[in-house]
Structure 1
Amino acid sequence: MKRPSVRPSVRPSVRPSVRPSVRPSVRPSVRPSVRPSSVRPSVRPSRPSSSVRPSVRPSVVRPSVRPSVRPSVRPSVRPSVRRPCPSVRRRPSVPDGQIRLLDGGYYYGRVEIYHDRRWGTVCDDSWGLQDANVVCRQLGFPSAVAAHTDAYYGQGTGPILLDDVQCEGYETRLEYCPSGGWYTHNCDHQEDAGVECSNDFYMTTPFPWGIDGDVRLMGGLRSNEGRVEIYYYGTWYTVCDDSWDNADATVVCRQLGYFDPAQAVGGAYFGFGFGDILLDDVECYGWESTLLDCPNAGLFQHNCWNSQEAGVICGNEEYGRVRLVGGSVPTEGRVEIFNNNEWGTICDDLWQREDAEVICRQLGYSDVDEYFLDQAYFGEGYGPIMERLSCDGDEAHWQQCSYSGWNTPYCEHYEDVGVRCLAGVEGDVRLRNGYSRGSSYEGRVELFYDGGWYTVCDDGWDTADATVVCRQLGFKGSAEALDSAYFGAGSDPIILDDVNCGGWESTLLECPSSGLFVHNCQHTEDAGVRCSSDEDGDARLIGGLSQYEGRVEVLYDGKWNTICDDSWDTRDASVICRQLGYEGTDAVFGNAYFGPGRGDILMDEVKCTGDESTLLDCPSDGFYIHNCDHSEDSGVRCLHNGKD
């Protein structure tokens, strides 16, 4: 985004008059002095290059004093960079410059930055997409979708730490961007800046669950290999490959539950990560409990690029295997995962379709038939229990998802979850990455063929094509055709281009096209659809962590609208929950608890008796008559099988 060289000469009267009306048209060529003192060397040591990856990374020479065999007696003096008690997992202090998003969701919200031992907000003067891109990349997302101003996600309460942020877009942290300086501003919290990040790929920061020092492997073809990422204060970071060797890899693999041998690889062998690099010059002995216990150059102290990220290949591929137990056919059963030399189960807390999709995909099935078979539907299992598995749905295996841990005190085996997977029929279609998490009525179109799912190019994509897709999925109403990767870009090959349906075909494969896998497209042209039943009064829940909670939205006059929370109570919520097929209401929410909606507010002062068929049947002030904004959107949590 090109920034204007001249700022508006007239600002609101509440601003100090001493503020210059014209911004310099040329950015300073020198970065602000507040950037950390760890400056990269002007000349980097040359690295060997080769067009062929070595099967084993050349060994790195270690100091001769490093023992090749674990010493029988540990050194009496530990390096000063090590934590005082490696047997205790302590929460490190917040790093200066850390970013968080508040009053939104895990990928959108008000921007807050940590400085001088306190959290503060950022003023929206000059705030644009380049600034938002830096924030999102720092949090582990690939890019930003939108930069928001005017306290779009509500007003903060702490100090305003930055103003006039002017990122170029290449910075890895917001604090590195030119700005007016810490605490220098002429703003109030009505101008707090916000962002919305792209979330259409595996999340490097999916949810704030985890323990500082946890590691995971990303980018590998199998679950026992990948780029090393380490969790630190709410964000996943990568590790530089300087001094990276098999002793360091051994610690990572053992931390993940694998046995020896462990192989270290570098040079971003498993692809580049996103965000900052946490560790450099890691010097493990091999007996440490976690990678954070190993001597290193210090947190965020490095002279590396993302092309130097470290990876590992662990030895025991048995870890992480998935199986279905207790079903009448191979495609169904209780989900069990092999962990630490024994089979364990998954608790049904927060279990949803995206989690089941990953399990079925890892087992080689094409899709999910039924995913919420909870309360030990296929019988109670044995062994450890995993809690709160949370996947985005695009992961290749469950290790790329987040989860809160094993053997927590909140789950028992009567909560073991099960799934029923689909083997797939050639020509099946599915919708992916809809804006409503787990939504089945909108998304990127994918078609099953020869054992795989493939996307469709949007050349010639129109309503007739969308109608065939929606009818194939069981929708009887209208269909909207969406192009230009509206629901995010896919990753698998493109199977169809120049689709030209008449609208009467039974499946998308029956429509004329340029031929299978014949196209001139990229995934930025992936086609999508939005299906509708075209029935006023239909309801849906948006923004929740499960399919039975979220912001209430009601279909009226062909569009989805929110409901104001004035007078919102359990009788109103019970109408929504019953309409959606749930047994009752667990909780009601106001103040945009599940995030603010968009579009119109349909109803205010809703006063249901609880017996109505739809919310439209309830008394209210009238359609589109209200004194609300989206900070007052209502929400519900429904009861599912008698429990929330």
Structure 2
Amino acid sequence: MTQSLKRRFLCQTKDRSVRLGDATSFGRGRLEYLDENEGWGTVCNQAWTQSDSTVACNHLGFNPLSAYDAFPASGGDDLPIVLGGLRCSHQTRLDECERDYDWTPDSCMHSQDVGVQCKPPVGMRLLTEYNFAGIPSVYYGRTWGLFCSDNWNINAARIFCINYGFQDAVSIFDLIGDPATLPSTIVNTISCTGDEEYFTDCPQIEWAYHGECSQNTRLGVVCQVGKKSLSIVNPNPDYPEYGRVEVTVNKLFKGTICNKTWDQAAANVVCRDLGFKRGAQRFFTIGGEDKGDIFDSVHCTGDEDSFSDCRSELVPESRSDCNHTQDAGVECVANDDTLIVFLRGAGSYEGLVYYRVEDRRALICDQTWTDKEAAVACRMQGYECGTATKVVDLGPEVSTNILQWDIVCNGNEERLKDCTVTKRDNPTSCTPENIAQVRCGPKEGKWAPGKN
């Protein structure tokens, strides 16, 4: 059969009495009926109602519980007008409907040929013991059947899951077995972009009755329930906005992100989703020894409200384009309300000084750090005064992400940004023993606990 004929008669019932001609997409086209005397012809839209469309789509083999639309159709001038004056109600076939006995083909013109849009074109269900994962099944031609895995990918799964009422597809998998024990196949081949409204709008779809799959495979799908959960994993707990990104979906499946499609847009969405107001300062690759699944083909435009709206596919590491030495990482911009924080001390009143300058939050080298600068830092946290003193013993693991800036205060400023802050042209090495630390007090009329 030529490609033009395939397109012209894209939908047709098994009894070959009704079809859609010149279909522009699956389930949409000019309605044509096989008259026992005239052969194939068009249908007149005089007095055509929603009930007529419903019966027509049901006759074509589509889901009888769906909604349907009708429209004026063109291109049937070479065919006779063979049917009209229908008064359908709850019938399942057009030839079962009542008709106006005074209707004749001469009362219609081809400008009144009716077209129908059956949507969604098929019924669907998920054969599963779980409510979000299992074997996708479709209803077509008055029977239920399965998909072959030929050309099936995450884009087709995404459309199926969304049509079925889920937010997205998480992953796909093959089911291998004896054809005699597997259900019948009804879709041999399908190829989608992931942007279709219905999966039957996919540009390539091949239907079959009781067909056979190559390699005896059928497919399964895991659909997404609710939002994906994000976390930033960093061996250094003092730097919570920096590290490897981990994603959890359905409260069950967890994975890292492959860096092959990781970019600034995706990093911004991740940081905003985690509650950081201004997105990501930078994105990077961060190697690790982790095992487990990986989210491949992550794509965000940058305008998404949540990372759940970005596209991705969770796959085993053996099937991924990445390994865990290529996990994606992010450094989020700290929010204004966390401009400064003291960490690793005995309480919130003392510790290492983490401060944000030019959208970067890091430790401060203490080469210009005195009691004046410490007093301003403590004032930012609500304390009356403070001193520059060592309160934490540090190891070499904190020697990275240290700001090489000169911060000079007179001690009366309300915030460190009001002090003179100068970036060094030739920064010197800052070792852990040179990291700025502070002890604050009193607050709300009291000194810090246990301090005099």
**One fold, TM greater than 0.5?**
no
Question: Higher helix share goes to which structure?
Answer: 2
TM-score (normalizing by structure 2): 0.39
* Greater C-alpha Rg: 2
Question: Higher strand share goes to which structure?
Answer: 2
